[in-house]
Every structure is written in structure tokens, then in C-alpha cells.
């Protein structure tokens, strides 16, 4: 029986495209780095260091770009987002029916908590797990493992909801099944190991309820 719902943040609860892409552009424009804006969507979901590395930056250079990214994001980018239609109602339903709700994100933990707080959602989450500022904990596998360690939740009674393959693979490596948030920023190839693809947040709720009614 599913008792614990673990949500990703960007691309699952929040449509953070504008804020994240603008922060990436700021970090790259600062050094006059040429880029294809259409490909910057790849920054939404994965750890920032991985995304900058894929652009050809070294580890040290990536850390510098991340500092510039955060400079923009913490001042402006956090406000350049919106909640997905139906996500608030879905979280409310899970909460009202006694499910435990958690967050596992590659976003810095303090930033993630502020996102939830600003949208009056933090009170519904039993625990929020995120990345550390120094990037020592940033991979989704490690964030989920940290969440399990801190809360003692049973992986077999839990399900992850996320829009990128990092979410689905990170859950699998912690023996947790995953629902793909198909309304986010991933694609069909990333969802191949998910137990279900949700077209909207309401689908997530209905899938869990149907599984528990069996």
C-alpha cells in the first residue's frame, strides 16, 4: 500500500521554466558564452553542475557559473514561476486523506522550502530534502537516500513523482517506484521506467488511489 508521496519540485509542482532559463542565460551572458536558448530547458531538473559540464565547462568553471546562476535566481528567478494547474488540489487531497507528503529536489534545500512557503504549501510536507549549497548532496539518488535516512519511510510504501529521468532513476536506485509527471519537461524516453505517466497532477492522485483500492 502506498502511504508516502515524494514530489520533485521543478517541472512537477512548479513550472519554473522562465526563472531557471533566465538564471542560466545570466550566468552565460556574463562571460559572453554563446548558446542555443532552445537547449537550456535541459537545466530544469538535473543538478546544475551536470548541466554546466555538458556545455563544456570544467568543474571549477561550473562552480563559478553556478554562483552567477544563484545570484540571479535568488534575487529574481524564484519569483519567475507558477504552480501547475491542479497541483494544489492534488496535494490537499493527499494530505486530507492521511498520506505523508515529502519533497526530494536537486534544488538547494533552503530555496526549495522558500518556494513551497511562498505558495502556502510548506505546511503540507512532512519533510523537505534538497541539495546542499556546496553541491556535496545534489544527485537525486542521494537526495532520496537522505530523505529515507532522515524520515525512516519504507521505500515499498512510497512513490516518487517527477518529470525527469533523474527522478525516476534516483527513485529506482532507492527501491522506490516512480510516476512520471508527463506535464513537466521530460520526454517519453525518460519515462520508460516509470510505472505510470501522469498527464496532469490529478492523474497522480487517481493512480495512487486506484493502486490502493486493489
Q: Is pLDDT above 90 for 136?
A: no
Q: Is pLDDT above 80 for 214?
A: no
Q: By residue range, what is the domain housing residue 205?
A: 4-15+81-212
Please state the rounded mean pLDDT for residues 60-75.
Answer: 95
Residue 5, SS3 per DSSP: strand
The answer to whether residues 23 and 75 touch, using CB atoms and an 8 Å cutoff, is: no
CATH number for the domain spanning 36: value is 1.10.150.240
- Structural domain total, the chain: 2
- For residue 135, what pLDDT band results from cuts at 50, 70 and 90? confident
Look-up: residue for cell 555538458? 54
Which pLDDT belongs to residue 147? 98
Q: Which DSSP helix (H) or strand (E) runs through 158?
A: strand 158-162
Residues 97 and 139 in one domain: yes
How many Å separate Cα 119 from the centre of its chain? 16
How many Å separate Cα 133 from the centre of its chain? 16
Residues 106 and 167 in one domain: yes
Examine the fold and report which residue of 62, 79, 96 is the final residue of a domain before the chain moves on.
79
Q: Is pLDDT above 90 for 67?
A: yes
2, with CB counted inside 10 A (0-12, 13-18, 19+), is middle
End-to-end CA distance of the chain: 9
Please state the rounded mean pLDDT for residues 65-86.
Answer: 95
Residues 107 and 70 in one domain: no
Residues 174 and 96 in one domain: yes
Helix then strand then coil, % of the chain, to nearest 5: 50, 15, 30
Q: Is pLDDT above 90 for 199?
A: yes
- For residue 75, what pLDDT band results from cuts at 50, 70 and 90? very high
- pLDDT, one tens digit per residue, over 152-195 is 999 999 999 999 999 999 999 999 999 999 999 999 999 999 99
Residues serving a catalytic function are 8
Q: Is pLDDT above 90 for 40?
A: yes
**Residue 12 Cα distances to 26, 54, 92, 149, angstroms:** 24, 23, 15, 23
Amino acid at each position: 500500500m502506498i502511504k508516502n508521496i515524494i514530489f520533485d519540485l521543478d517541472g512537477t509542482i512548479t513550472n519554473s521554466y522562465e526563472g531557471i532559463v533566465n538564471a542560466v542565460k545570466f550566468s552565460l551572458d556574463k562571460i559572453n558564452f554563446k548558446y542555443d536558448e532552445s537547449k537550456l530547458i535541459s537545466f530544469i531538473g538535473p543538478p546544475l553542475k551536470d548541466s554546466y559540464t555538458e556545455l563544456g565547462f570544467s568543474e571549477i568553471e561550473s562552480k563559478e557559473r553556478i554562483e552567477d546562476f544563484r545570484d540571479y535566481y535568488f534575487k529574481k528567478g524564484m519569483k519567475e514561476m507558477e504552480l501547475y494547474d491542479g497541483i494544489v488540489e492534488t496535494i490537499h487531497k493527499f494530505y486530507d486523506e492521511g498520506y505523508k507528503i515529502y519533497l526530494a529536489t536537486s534544488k538547494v534545500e533552503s530555496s526549495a522550502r522558500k518556494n513551497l512557503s511562498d505558495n502556502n504549501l510548506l505546511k503540507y510536507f512532512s519533510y523537505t530534502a534538497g541539495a546542499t549549497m556546496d553541491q556535496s548532496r545534489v544527485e537525486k539518488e542521494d537526495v532520496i537516500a537522505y530523505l529515507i535516512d532522515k524520515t525512516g519511510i519504507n521505500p515499498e510504501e512510497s512513490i516518487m513523482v517527477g518529470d525527469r529521468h533523474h527522478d525516476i532513476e534516483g527513485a529506482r536506485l532507492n527501491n522506490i517506484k516512480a510516476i512520471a509527471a508527463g506535464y513537466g519537461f521530460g520526454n517519453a524516453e525518460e519515462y520508460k521506467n516509470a510505472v505510470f505517466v501522469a498527464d496532469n497532477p490529478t492523474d497522480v492522485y487517481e493512480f495512487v488511489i486506484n493502486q490502493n483500492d486493489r
